[in-house]
Amino acid sequence: MPKESKQLVPQSEPFDTDAFRVEAVLSKLPIHILNDEHTEPINIQKMGMSWKVSPGHWGMPGSLAYKIDSIFINHRIDENRPVIPKVIRLGSIREILRELGMAENGTNAAAVKKALLQNATAFIQAKVPYRNRDTVGTFEFGDTRYGIVFQNQTLPDGTKADAIYIVLHDLFLQFLLGAPVRPIRSVYLKYLSDSPFAHRLYEILSFQFYAAFKQGRPYAVLRYSEYCQQAPLIRKTEKRLIYQQMWRIHKPHIKSGYIRKVEYEVVNPNDSTVDFNIKYYPGPLARQEYELFNQKSLPDANPSHYDLTKTIALAGDQQLPQATSLAQRLVAEFQQLRFGESQKRIAKSEEQLAAVLIERWGFEKAREIIIGAFKKASESGFKSIYLTGLERFLQEEEDHYKKSKQGRQEKNKQKSGQNLEYCAEHLYKTMKRDERAKMEAEAIAALQERCQSDENYRDLMTYAGEAQTKEIVRSFIIGRLIHEIESGIREVPVISEH
């Protein structure tokens, strides 16, 4: 069936109740690689948390493994709440194919079996803080999540399996029994199943929309760089490419009415690395979903003891803290490092200090300085409740960074006495063919964009010959390389004398 023929329940009809619960802590962290473009391993290291996923014998879990986990296995786990057993029946390969909307043939059956094994053998090393009602904890884990028992194989109790089963590993099972849960709409997951990144955005954005509705805010916010980590998605470095990349992900949500409008707000415009706060305005479908999920429990055969209002609110608050400015966000990250979670209150003096650091160094470098200062303070036995208590250690880190930067600049000067243009020319001539082709394509796209807004430039490019066009593109790239050398993105090359 073509993708365009997919339809949701019309919005004028009552919202369907085809929903189930998933745990609200690990589900916002990536386990699966959703396309072939992403070749980097999943390894997230932040203040107070770490998350690393390594492939097993069957390779890294991909988009089909993700679909099986999020649509099928999570549903089976939820059907057994509140008392989740160690051994859970999934069903036959044929049942799984039907649930996923896949044709029942040998090729698809083999693909599903491989995807199940990829999920079962993915090794996770995690240290993740979480909250559940009045409990604050940290989930530390170094294992796979579950094992797979295929049909006609022996189950842990010695009986023969009549279908495919998962056997939850003890630490993961213990976590599932204590973790907060959040509801998610099954029919909407299936609607998005042909677009894994849109599917993933729904899982992540549902946290923020709930918090936005609960707190009376008109929109929810996702940082582009953080979504790239959580998806995971290859992070683009140019505005035009980011807009194109995210539009493909947003399109199904806008078409369905889940997202009404999207706005981009540049973060740290003076930094060389482009980043955005993406503002998502919820559509009618998101509002309907919130109204359903705000009920005390979801209708099912075995009513749950979970208070969904509380658990989803906790998850939403944890995913989208009250911090709104960059300075508040920096303080919130310090609090995460110090206490394992963001605190409700941010002192004005802390916010002012964070703002000064950001103005001086930019957000990312200020964050690194705070991490270094916190580590030094901890090693010396000093534990401050407030960020302002680390001022002495922050000053030491700033001084250290200044000296390191000066040392690098001096080293670069010694390596090459050539002017920047000569160095950029050398970089251009010696760069690999693939990198040069990529830069030339990006230069042509940028020049075409400039032609649309500059009539004189458009005339110049229109009447330029092939040789002149090549020279314009080369000059554009040289200018870009000079900028990258000046801003520290590229090292000054060592140019040997002959």
Going residue by residue through the chain (498 aa), what tens digit of pLDDT does each one get?
444 444 443 333 333 346 778 887 888 889 999 886 666 779 988 877 889 999 999 999 999 999 999 888 998 998 888 889 999 999 999 999 988 888 999 999 999 999 999 999 999 999 888 766 566 677 888 999 999 999 999 999 999 999 999 999 998 998 888 887 878 888 888 888 888 999 999 999 988 888 888 888 889 999 998 899 888 998 998 888 999 999 999 999 998 889 999 999 888 656 667 888 999 999 888 888 888 777 644 343 333 333 333 333 333 333 333 445 778 888 887 877 776 655 556 778 888 888 888 888 888 788 888 888 888 888 888 877 788 888 888 888 888 877 776 666 565 554 444 567 777 888 888 888 888 888 888 888 777 777 776 666 666 666 666 777 777 888 888 888 887 777 666 766 655 544
Q: Which of 127, 46, 129, 49 is nearest to 368 (CA)?
A: 46
Q: Please check whether residue 185 is in contact with residue 285, taking contact to mean a CB–CB distance below 8 angstroms.
A: no
CB 153 within 8 A of CB 160: yes
CA proximity to 317, closest of 130, 128, 127: 130
Cα–Cα distances in Å, from 359 out to 246, 270, 355, 356, 366?
Answer: 29, 10, 6, 5, 9
Q: Give the distance from CA 128 to its chain's centroid.
A: 15
pTM of the model: 0.58
The dihedral over CA atoms of 56, 57, 62, 65, expressed in degrees to the nearest 10, equals -90
Query: Directed axis angle between helix 455-463 and helix 433-453, to 10°?
Result: 130
Of 43, 50, 137, 126, the residue nearest 340 (C-alpha): 137
Residue 364: alpha-carbon gap to chain centroid: 17
Q: What backbone torsions phi and psi does residue 132 show, to the nearest 5 degrees?
A: -145, 110
| pLDDT at residue 279 in the model | 92
How far apart CA 270 and CA 488 sit, in angstroms, is 13
Token digits of residue 44: 């997230």
Amino acid at 373: A
In three-state secondary structure terms, 443 is helix
